[in-house]
Amino acid sequence: RSRYTLVQCVSHAFYAPLFLAGPTIQFDDFVSQNLSPRPASTHLGWYVFQLVVAIAMLEAGLHWLPVFAIARSGKIGMLSRGAGLICGFFLLNMMWLKFFIIWRVGRAWALADGVDPPENMKRSMNNNFSVPSFWQGWHCSFNKWLIRYIYVPLGGRNR
């Protein structure tokens, strides 16, 4: 019972690495990780290296494929059908990469602090073959939160 205090609730709600841009972590998991702290993750160096590579890929992609500028200027409608589809495909991939970086920064910060939140975006955008698998892979932590706190209490099948 002492786990459920106002201080724990406020610290969960405003934990900066996850509040700003990170994945959604369940309250009980967050509190248990705070009450029994772990050392910083052993794979943090590899995780940060992957993040730096992703940032470099986004910078290079935006330099050589200015898809956001093309889409925002309205010129995408003037392209041929094939070029427009290719531009749209690269635009979606750049958006995926942008969110990948934003969420990975928040998770890396939390890992450095000793909190291990769930991983979002486990697969590439191009490695999904249905909308449900895309959603479950896109924002895994939010999907788990929705199932636990919304779907099941409203009478979902795992009740």
Q: Tens place of pLDDT for every residue, the chain, 159 residues?
A: 577 889 888 988 888 888 876 667 888 888 888 888 777 666 888 999 999 999 999 999 989 988 888 888 988 888 899 998 998 899 989 999 998 998 889 888 888 888 888 888 888 888 888 888 777 777 777 777 788 778 888 888 755
The amino acid at residue 110 is A
Q: pTM of the predicted model, to two decimals? A: 0.79
Distance from C-alpha of 18 to C-alpha of 106, rounded to nearest angstrom: 6
Residues with Cβ within 8 Å of residue 21, at least 6 apart in sequence: 102, 103, 105, 106
- Cβ(33)–Cβ(114) under 8 Å? yes
Q: Which residue has the tokens 């369940």?
A: 26
Tokens of 41: 């993750």
